[in-house]
Amino acid sequence: MTDLGIAIERMEQLKESIDIGYLCICAAFVLLMQVGFAFLEGGCLRYKDMQSIMLKIFMNTCVTVVIWWLVGYGIAFGNDSKEFVGSSVYIGFDMKNSKHLAEFAFQTAVASAATSIVSGGAAGRMTYIGYFILSVVFSSVIYPFCAHWGFGNGWLMKLGYHDYAGSGTIHASAGMGALMTTMLLKPRNQRFNPKYSEHFEPNNPIYITLACLSLWVCWCFFNGGSSLGIANGASVFMSRAIMNTFIAGASGALTVFFIFYLMNIDQGNKYSLVMICNGNLAGLVAITGPCDNVDAWAAFVIGILGGMMMVFANRVLFNLQIDDPVDAISIHFACGMLGANLVSWFDMDTGIVYGKGGYQFAVQMLGSFIYIGWSAIIHLITLLFIEKIGYLRVSIEEEHEGLDPATMGCCAYEMVELQQ
């Protein structure tokens, strides 16, 4: 081999090493999103249910890692992929190079985050065994097929469906799972009785805020890491995705901040720490799909639309008396659907705003309905099975006492009224 050939080979090895290192760092930060989800959901619930939801998130993280090693990654990203399902790298076989191992780590962390979204619908009233079964099904059947169709060179991707980091593929499908779960479980006892409304206020807005800010940081690695590297021109998509993640998160938060203020301007609670956090998350979910190929002004608009969608969905769910304990449905399902379809409007190559026609709109709509339909059907079958075997919902007595004292013997902390 000539000196030039050796130099080219070493350059390629260096590029691959840079991609692998970058992807491993992103994988670690995406896994840290579980900390954010745990404290976010723990802060939203009653203080006597905090440990239970954190246990469920820790458990579904472990379940997802094992399931993705066994079958999930192979279904989603198998080497010998067919248009419907992958057909290799099951149980880690055929992962012969470092890039494959790094991609496994990143995609497994992403799958863990997706599974945790479903936990929002189960918060405060689902049994641990029932949720364990649901996590196994989501991480082995529901999400891997969605990932293959949209990310793994599946049939939707070949039609031109574009969902860079997963507004529809991840958030809408998991948000639909949260919706099906909460509908089958039915509302928490007395949830919509005005007399007991204060009992269901978030117990710790400080946890929610810290969780939201940490999720915003990790989301940059979630969206930016979806480039799967930074060499060979991928750095352009990575840097644009991170920039747009900053902008949409901010505009979503500010939108909800002002909407809440205007809706409550004559009341004592015209500002809400929880709602500005929800607006931030709504903007982040909405930008996740189009983040790689929209301009900065479009990211700003997408964040605003995400915040507005979250407020609208939140109000609709409340009026329908659908109990969304941690706003998982209004944030992930509603804004995930929105983000997946805003690709067809604002994408710089295929968007309607740029005069590119409606084909992309049709493909994005098709993908969105496929994902929510697939998720709804499999979740419904699974939840009915869990109900049949008696592990769907805890007893009224356990729910009233609180899942922490009823199943763990104590609360995470005690609420003590100070005496003068």
pLDDT at res. 108 = 96
Burial of 361: CB neighbours in 10 Å, binned 0-12, 13-18, 19+: middle
| Beta-carbon-side half-sphere exposure of residue 2 (alpha carbons within 13 Å) | 3
* Residues contacting residue 201 through CB under 8 Å, at least 6 positions apart: none
The CATH architecture to which 15-408 belongs is Orthogonal Bundle (1.10)
Cα 385 to the chain's mean position, in Å?
Answer: 25
pLDDT at res. 417 = 54
Distance (Å, whole) CA 111 – CA 105: 10
Q: How many CB atoms lie within 10 A of CB 367?
A: 28
Asked if 340 and 173 touch (Cβ cutoff 8 Å), the reply is: no
Q: What pTM value is reported for the model?
A: 0.95
Each of the 420 residues of the chain gets a pLDDT tens digit; together they read 677 777 777 887 888 889 999 999 999 999 999 999 999 999 999 889 999 999 999 999 999 999 999 999 999 998 766 678 888 888 877 777 778 899 999 999 999 999 999 999 999 899 999 999 999 999 999 999 999 999 988 999 999 999 999 999 999 999 999 999 999 999 999 999 999 888 889 999 999 999 999 999 999 999 999 999 898 888 999 999 999 999 999 999 999 999 999 999 888 788 999 999 999 999 999 999 999 999 999 999 999 999 999 999 999 999 999 999 999 999 999 999 999 999 999 999 999 999 987 899 999 999 999 999 999 999 999 999 999 999 999 999 999 999 999 998 888 877 655 455
pLDDT at res. 40 = 96
Distance (Å, whole) CA 221 – CA 293: 17
pLDDT at res. 12 = 79
Closest CA to 159 of 372, 360, 369, 371: 360
pLDDT at res. 81 = 64
Residue 126 DSSP label: B
**What percentage of the chain has pLDDT greater than the value 90?**
79
Taking the domains of the chain in order of start, what are their residue ranges?
Answer: 15-408
